Amino acid sequence: MSKDPYGHFADVMRTSMSNQTRQALNGVGAVLGTITGTGLKLDDFKHELQDYLIAELPGTLSISSKTVKETTPIRDGEEVLLELKKGLKPGDRVLAMRVNSGNDVVVVCKVVSGHA
C-alpha cells in the first residue's frame, strides 16, 4: 500500500510552515535582562549587547518643592517636580523588547520584585 501523495505533501507543507513561523518569531518579543558594567545581558541570549536603546519618558512633570505625600492634594498653579532616578546601573534587572525583526533591543523599564 502506498501512502496518499496529497496527504504526504500536506504534511510536508504543514511542517515547513510551522518551522518557518517558529524561526520568524524567534528573537521577537519581551525578555528580561540585566544591565552590566559594559552593556546589556538578556536572559535568553548568551552574549552581552553593547548596542541597545533605552525608552525615554516623554515630557516633564513638575510639582512645588514642598514634600508631597500620596494624600497631599495638588492645587491648580502649584509647581510640581518629579525626580526620576538617574539612569540604570550595573545589576539592575530590566524589561527589554526586541524590535525590527529582532535586530534592535529597547530597554523599556527597570523591574523590581513585587515583594520589595
Interacting residues of 54 by C-beta distance below 8 A, sequence separation 6+: 88, 106, 107
Predicted confidence at residue 80, as pLDDT, reads 61
Predicted confidence at residue 11, as pLDDT, reads 84
Predicted confidence at residue 48, as pLDDT, reads 95
Predicted confidence at residue 18, as pLDDT, reads 79
Predicted confidence at residue 72, as pLDDT, reads 60
Predicted confidence at residue 19, as pLDDT, reads 73
Domain map of the chain by residue range? 5-110
CA distance 61 to 81: 6
User: Tens of pLDDT along 68-108?
Assistant: 555 566 666 666 665 556 678 899 999 999 888 778 899 99
Q: Give 79-88's long-range contacts (Cβ < 8 A, gap of 24+).
A: 84/57, 88/35, 88/54
User: Tens of pLDDT along 20-68?
Assistant: 776 666 656 788 999 999 999 999 889 999 999 988 776 665 655 565 5
